[in-house]
Amino acid sequence: MSEPLFKAEAVHKSFRDPKSGASLEALGGLSLEIQEGEFVSVIGPSGSGKTTLLYLMAGFLKPDSGRLLYKGAEVDGPSPERTVIFQDYGLFPWKTAAGNVEFPLKARGLSPSARRAGARKYLSMVHLDGFEDKYPHQLSGGMKQRVGIARALACGPDAVLMDEPFAALDNITREMLQEEILRLWSGLGKTFVLITHHLDEAIFMSRRIIVMSARPGVVKESIAVDLPEPRTAEVKTHPAFTALKARLMKSLREEVEKSLAASRGPALVLDMGVIKVAEKEAL
């Protein structure tokens, strides 16, 4: 097997509340590998370090100990090779859809004409032809997320990292975008990593699911998803889909029960890279 695209080696990561000084261990020696071209979902109970792992992969955070490798080298900061799609779209409200997609192309030094052509190309890939000149406030939630996807792909990344990208959308729009992402993944050959709490979503979209333990997070199990291809909505009624969902539910329930038994202390909340410590149950 070739060298993995991502490799985590005994990664530890903790956060400290600047006011109280309390420390919370998010990851407790996590190790995993993700191969080039995979579509992997990461699931786990809240507070298990899923988003922390994604931000380490993106280069927004660094491990306290252990190593997080990308193409065999330690991740030392953000890179256009590893782009992130956030839950809240992250669009510039003062820029049009095309302007938002052009932003990373401008950072790469492309000429205005090349940027415009690139924006049209990627907006067309997500079926937003004719919406190039619309501002975010003129777009639906699903359209905004399509712009975010187009902007992420415009960077020319090898890896697309997604942090609950469909959580704010209604069910129909969510399912349509799931299918859209799978179409893009199969056509582009990129590596996609999805953080989600939604089991149906993880099973439907993934070719492998990584289950995280209760905090401090480690990999509890890695499960290959063997379902008929190409994936369509009908696959959700397949017996293997139902069986895998039951297995994942049981595994997650075990971890939530451990978390409840172990602590009623501070739980970690990550919001766009800002670390907050909130007193709440570790659910």
Question: What are the tens digits of pLDDT across the range 173-228?
Answer: 889 899 999 999 998 899 999 999 999 999 999 999 999 999 999 999 999 999 99
Same domain? For 17 and 149 the reply is no
Same domain? For 152 and 163 the reply is no
Kindly state whether residue 1 falls inside one of the protein's structural domains.
Answer: no
Average pLDDT over residues 71-93: 91
What is this structure's pTM?
Answer: 0.87
Residue 121, phi then psi, degrees to nearest 5 = -60, -50
- Range with the largest mean pLDDT of 138-142, 220-224, 277-281: 220-224
How confident is residue 269, by pLDDT bands cut at 50, 70 and 90? very low
Same domain? For 263 and 236 the reply is yes
In the Cβ-directed half-sphere of 224, how many Cα atoms lie within 13 Å?
3
Q: Choose the final residue of a domain: 156, 187, 209.
A: 156
Domain count, the chain: 2
Say if residue 273's pLDDT is above 60. Answer: no
Averaged confidence pLDDT in the chain: 88
Same domain? For 149 and 164 the reply is no
Neighbours of 113 (CB within 10 A): 8
| Helical spans, DSSP H, in the chain | 50-58, 97-107, 112-125, 141-154, 171-188, 199-205, 239-262
Q: What is the pLDDT of residue 75?
A: 96
Model confidence over 113-134: pLDDT tens digits?
999 999 999 999 998 999 999 9
Q: Choose the final residue of a domain: 156, 177, 211.
A: 156
Q: What whole-number distance in Å separates Cα of residue 170 and Cα of residue 155?
A: 28
Same domain? For 171 and 252 the reply is yes
Same domain? For 167 and 250 the reply is yes
